[in-house]
Amino acid sequence: MKDYLINYDKTALEYIITHGYNQPVFRAGQINGWLYKGAEICEMHNLPSAFRLALADKYEAFPLSYKFDLYEEKTDTRKFIFSTADGIFIESVALNYDHGICVCVSTQAGCRMGCAFCESGKGGLIRNLTPGEMLSQIIRISKMLGRRITNIVLMGSGEPLDNYDNVKEFILRANSPDGLSISMRNITLSTCGIVSGIKRLIEDKIFVNLSLSLHAPSHELRSKIMPVEKAYNINEAIQACKQYRKESSRRITLEYCLIEGFNDTAECAKALYQICKNTDMLINLIDVNSTKGKYTRNSAHCMRNFVEKLKSYNINYTIRRRLGSSINAACGQLRSEYAANQNGGA
Ligand code: SAH
């Protein structure tokens, strides 16, 4: 099987081309520049053609191939399906904001966290994605849209902190001037609460925006929908976030997927108040996206009523734009449908 140039940073490329191909070191900079423009090896015109051929014998530029995309006009959201070299389908979403384009990146194919409302975890973990596969999602999308990507959210399928080393390398390369040059302030990592991973981020001084997928404000309720609660309970997760806030000076967001009749009660609002008081944590409310099994769409007044309860406690909140629901842009939904169709399923 071929290897992929995007798997290597500029320093590693320097080594490869000077040792393996007897080329001058500056060519690594040329190749690196082309890669971040989304060029294939045959398009790297300023390399000698014999060198290009020799490279192409062993390498391809990127390990992902584009399959298709779906566009939702109402919200200006585009969802992409890519295939990995070993034939796994993964998904990424491009969100168009006034200030630029944000790509929602998948960090794993599948997921082993098993959250009740999330499609990504339904088939378990297939495998971790490599840093090159994560970078390729952004580079391919940027090339197809003809736009620079300004923001990254690690909120596609997978649990980023369950793939720590690869995610760390991805973030460092996304941030590097030799990579995507995206500021750490424009990168958001969302976790279901892998406390050991949050602590490693602190040790490694990876200071991005951190989002904790809270979804329920007590151990009892959270245990019903998020198996991670058994390994790291809500108090430990909140504590780790507070420590991250202290070290990084980055404001923490708590994601709260509103599920009617489950976590929209007055007691829940009060418990959220207890968690947030004396902090600058922000609650990001998400209307649950309906999934094939249990979850149906909330009624129209559900969000409104819960917001009123939060307001009575002066809790800081935002409501996530309802993006891509008509194109199944909630975690794992489109990929699972596409894979089922490919297998002759529904
Ligand atoms: N594993 C990470 C990141 C991926 S999920 C995490 O748990 O944070 C990104 C966000 O989408 C999470 O907050 C997740 O809980 C939410 N999400 C998943 N399925 C959803 C659904 N059906 N409706 C609304 N939000 C959902």
- The rounded Å distance from CA 39 to ligand 1 centre is 32
Residue identifier of the C-alpha nearest atom 9 of ligand 1: 155
| pLDDT for residue 124 | 96
> 308-317: long-range contacts at Cβ-Cβ below 8 A with a sequence spacing of 24 or more?
309/266, 309/269, 310/269, 310/272, 310/283, 312/269, 313/269, 313/270, 313/272, 313/273, 315/269, 315/272, 315/273, 315/276, 315/283, 316/276, 316/280, 316/281, 316/282, 316/283, 317/282, 317/283, 317/284, 317/285
| pLDDT for residue 330 | 56
Positive or negative torsion for Cα 327, 333, 335, 339: negative
Q: Is 264 in the pocket of ligand 1 (CB under 6 A)?
A: no
- The rounded Å distance from CA 158 to ligand 1 centre is 9
Mutate to test the pocket of ligand 1, among 257, 260, 325 (most ligand atoms within 8 A of CB): 257
Question: Which residues lie closer than 8 Å to 50 by C-beta, 6 or more apart?
Answer: none
Closest CA to 65 of 43, 42, 87: 87
Closest CA to 191 of 171, 218, 224, 163: 163
Residue 312 corresponds to which tokens in the numbers above?
A: 């009575």
| pLDDT for residue 343 | 46
- The rounded Å distance from CA 58 to ligand 1 centre is 38
Residue-by-residue pLDDT tens, the chain, 346 positions? 789 999 999 999 999 999 999 999 999 999 999 999 999 999 999 999 999 999 999 999 999 999 999 998 888 899 999 999 999 999 999 999 888 999 999 999 999 999 999 988 889 999 999 999 999 999 999 999 999 999 999 999 999 999 999 999 999 999 999 999 999 999 999 999 999 999 999 999 999 999 999 999 999 999 999 999 999 999 999 999 999 999 999 999 999 999 999 999 999 999 999 999 999 999 999 999 887 767 888 998 999 999 999 999 999 999 987 656 665 555 555 555 555 555 443 3
Give the integer Cα–Cα distance in Å for 102 and 305. Answer: 30
Mutate to test the pocket of ligand 1, among 79, 125, 194, 331 (most ligand atoms within 8 A of CB): 331
Q: Is 285 in the pocket of ligand 1 (CB under 6 A)?
A: no
| Count of C-beta atoms within a 10 Å radius of residue 25 | 11
Q: Is 191 in the pocket of ligand 1 (CB under 6 A)?
A: yes
| pLDDT for residue 236 | 98
Residue identifier of the C-alpha nearest atom 19 of ligand 1: 118
Q: Is 248 in the pocket of ligand 1 (CB under 6 A)?
A: no
8 Å CB contact between 222 and 230: no
Residue identifier of the C-alpha nearest atom 21 of ligand 1: 289
Residue 49 corresponds to which tokens in the numbers above?
A: 């053609």
Q: Among all residues, which ones are annotated catalytic?
A: 91, 331
Q: Is 256 in the pocket of ligand 1 (CB under 6 A)?
A: no
Give the integer Cα–Cα distance in Å for 317 and 315. Answer: 6
Amino acid (one-letter) located at 45: H
- The rounded Å distance from CA 25 to ligand 1 centre is 44
Q: Is 162 in the pocket of ligand 1 (CB under 6 A)?
A: no
Amino acid (one-letter) located at 259: I
Residue 100 corresponds to which tokens in the numbers above?
A: 């630029």
- The rounded Å distance from CA 113 to ligand 1 centre is 11
| pLDDT for residue 346 | 31
Q: What is the DSSP letter of 51?
A: H
Question: Which residues lie closer than 8 Å to 253 by C-beta, 6 or more apart?
Answer: 188, 209, 210, 211, 212, 281, 282, 283, 284
- The rounded Å distance from CA 331 to ligand 1 centre is 6
- The rounded Å distance from CA 205 to ligand 1 centre is 25
Give the integer Cα–Cα distance in Å for 99 and 149. Answer: 10
Q: Is 192 in the pocket of ligand 1 (CB under 6 A)?
A: yes
Q: Is 257 in the pocket of ligand 1 (CB under 6 A)?
A: yes
Q: HSE-up of 264 (CA within 13 Å, CB side)?
A: 19
8 Å CB contact between 309 and 269: yes
Radius of gyration of the chain (CA): 21
- C-alpha dist (Å) from residue 291 to 34, 107, 253: 40, 21, 24
Question: Which residues lie closer than 8 Å to 20 by C-beta, 6 or more apart?
Answer: none
pTM over 0.85: yes
Identify the structural domains of the chain with CATH numbers, from first to last.
3-60 (1.10.150), 65-342 (3.20.20.70)
Do β-strands 149-154 and 187-191 pair in parallel, antiparallel, or remain unpaired? parallel
Residue identifier of the C-alpha nearest atom 14 of ligand 1: 213
